Structure 1
Amino acid sequence: MKYATGMDYIKTDSLPHMWCAGCGDGIVVRAIACAFENLGLDPRKIVMVSGIGCWGKADDYFSCNALHTTHGRALAYATGVKSANPELTVVVLMGDGDGTTIGGNHLLHAARRNMDLTAVLVNNYNYGMTGGQASATTPHDAVTSTSVLGNPERSVDVCELAKVAGANYVARETVAQGTRLSKRIQEGIANKGFSLIEVASPCTTLFGPRNKMRQPVDMLRWLKEKGVSESRFDKIEDAASQGYFKVGKFVERHDPDFNTSYEVMRDRLQQKEGK
């Protein structure tokens, strides 16, 4: 039996990667590359659209087209790419600061439009590249550089937001489940409409040490312990207040008319221009 390695989609001359020891970003790169291989995608027809931050550097390691954009605006650029050429596979790479805090409005509207984009949002619970400030996903009471006494705010559930806004595919996994994570990404790319895969990942330099997880393995164990199935989550009393979160597939709709309005408008424009 042949197993996907994903190496045909990775720029080996860019390795080793720039991320901190114990960071989960490398695992996510491999998961995406294996998903590409299992789907048999042509690298020339893939566009990786990234924002700013630790995870925003991920486009450096893929051997396909890349568009490195501004902070919080990756989905806006990706919408333009997909609108200009619907035949492309467009994968958007965002962090929690990039995708939910600064770019939360774009996430909301991308899910609402339900265009055929796949967003892989790596959540390490803080702004890992710029000093470890609190983001929209930082857990309540967690310590960051801007919440030294504990975060007073409630965190945003990214998957629930995408679900309510109308995304066709929504899932969450941690980097501790690499093979299952790759499967979720593969499903998201294959499913027509807007897909969001949130990936809970360690920040071993800033978030972990500030929250009593001094070694990279400590935060990985925390993610593995706290990320539970929906059925198990529902059985735990006050699960959210104890730091548990749901992992798995939450939405999978197969709607053949997901983008009909955009396609109709494109056809009308082409007819008007005599194409």
Structure 2
Amino acid sequence: MERKRPKMLYVDHKFCPGCGHGIVNRLIAEVLEEMSEDGNALCAVAVGCSSLMPDTYGVDIVQAQHGRAAAVAVGMKKCRPDSMVFSYQGDGDALAIGFSETMYAAIRNDNITVIFVNNNNFGMTGGQMSPTTLENQKTTTSPKGRDVTTTGKPLDVMKMMKSLDVAYLARGTMTSSAEILKTKKYIRKAFEAQKAGRGYSMVEILSPCPTNWGMTPLASCERIQNIVREVYPLGEFCDGGAKE
């Protein structure tokens, strides 16, 4: 059978070759179309790789200031409560400058969905160290490797949010077809939680970043499988009040 391209993907994306963002964009489009919500979706992005979406993605998108996408998404949901509202953010955006906005949306259990792509660095601006950069990982601002004695350990937002009253939390990746299907399931459950009015949902997705990691796409996926997953384990962490 011919695989149909979701209508939301009306032109090719602009992400780097081998980057995971393109796959994540596709999964969101498929889920929204399957739920018949593709014509009812609103998206908030900020600064970072997500800022490449507005001119390639067929939903109404508001570009917020750096880190403020979750706050803007909350405002959009309050104004348009019947719309399917989501923010699309990276680790530098959501957990560095936007950490307060990210956490307080979860603390309030706001009825939005956050799609959070974690590639362990500030991908858009040159590969600088981010809150999720692994210990000893080399970046443009940690050329000798991240020293956790001075910067603290990598930030695991799922551990922090599990203690909150939220609707759904999950972490997936796209290193194989099986993992892509699992991640799609997580994204669907996150949107279903919002549609049911249950409150805040977040799906974190571990993404390869061949350009800034200095690796081939295949080696980047192997790094996620063998190293990154040890720090950021996959799975569902909260589903309808049930905690992992």
Fold equivalence (TM over 0.5): yes
Residue in structure 1 matched with residue 10 of structure 2 by the alignment: 11
Residue equivalent to 2:163: 164
Aligned to 2:222: 221
Residue in 1 that maps onto 2:201: 195
User: Residues 3 and 77 from structure 1, CA distance in 2 versus in 1: closer, same or farther, beyond 3 angstroms?
Assistant: farther
Alignment of 1:21 onto 2:17: yes
2:100 matches 1:101: no
1:103-144 Cα shifts (integer Å, max 9, x gaps): 011111010111110000001100111111101111111111
Equivalent pairs, count: 231
Q: Is the 1:100–1:107 contact (alpha carbons within 8 Å) kept by the matching residues of 2?
A: yes
TM-score by length of 1: 0.79
Give the direction of change, closer, same or farther, for the CA distance of 1:3–1:160 in structure 2 (3 Å limit): farther
Give the alignment of 1:31-42 within 5 angstroms: 31-42=27-38
Cα deviation, residue 57, structure 1: 2.0
Q: If you compute each CA radius of gyration, which structure gives the higher value, 1 or 2?
A: 1
- Structure 2: stretches of 5+ with no match in the other structure: none
Of 108, 113, 124, 1:113 maps to 108
Larger proportion of helix: 1
Answer whether contact 2:46 2:63 (CA < 8 A) is retained.
yes
Maintained 8 Å contact 1:97/1:136: yes
- After TM superposition, give the deviation of residue 3 of structure 1 in Å: 9.4
1:107 and 1:165, CA in 2 relative to 1: closer, same or farther beyond 3 A? farther
Q: Percent identity?
A: 32
Match of 1:181 in 2: 183
**8 Å CA contact retained: 1:47, 1:66:** yes
* CA RMSD of superposed structures (Å): 1.9
1:151 aligns with 2:146: yes
Question: Matches of 2:216 and 2:38 in 1, distance apart?
Answer: 39
Indicate if the aligned counterparts of 1:167 and 1:196 stay in contact, CA closer than 8 A.
no
Counterpart secondary structure, 1:155: coil
> Which residue in 2 is equivalent to 1:248?
235
Question: CA–CA distance in 2 between the matches of 1:47 and 1:151?
Answer: 37
What is the distance in 2 between the residues matched to 1:28 and 1:42?
15
Q: Distance in 2 between matches of 1:225 and 1:144?
A: 19
Q: What are the Cα deviations for residues 214-251 of structure 1, in whole angstroms up to 9, with x where unaligned?
A: 212101122133466xxxxxxxxxxxxxx443101110
The residue identity in structure 1 corresponding to 2:189 is E
**Cross-structure match for 1:272:** none
1: CA distance, partners of 2:120 / 2:134: 7
**In 1, Cα distance between equivalents of 2:199 and 2:239:** 10
Residues 56-111 of structure 1 deviation map (CA, whole Å, 9 limit, x = unaligned): 32243321211111110001111111111211110100000000011011111010
Structure 1 residue aligned with 2:120, among 120, 125, 131?
A: 125
CA distance in 1, matches of 2:163, 2:2: 36
Which one-letter code corresponds to 1:223 in the other structure? I
Q: Which is further off, 245-254 or 90-99? A: 245-254
TM-score normalised by L of structure 2: 0.88
Taking the TM superposition and a 5 Å limit, the aligned residue runs for 1:57-76 are 57-76=52-71
Q: Aligned with 1:7: secondary structure?
A: coil
* Unmatched tracts of structure 1, length 5 or more: 229-242, 256-275
User: What's the secondary structure of 1:22's corresponding residue?
Assistant: coil
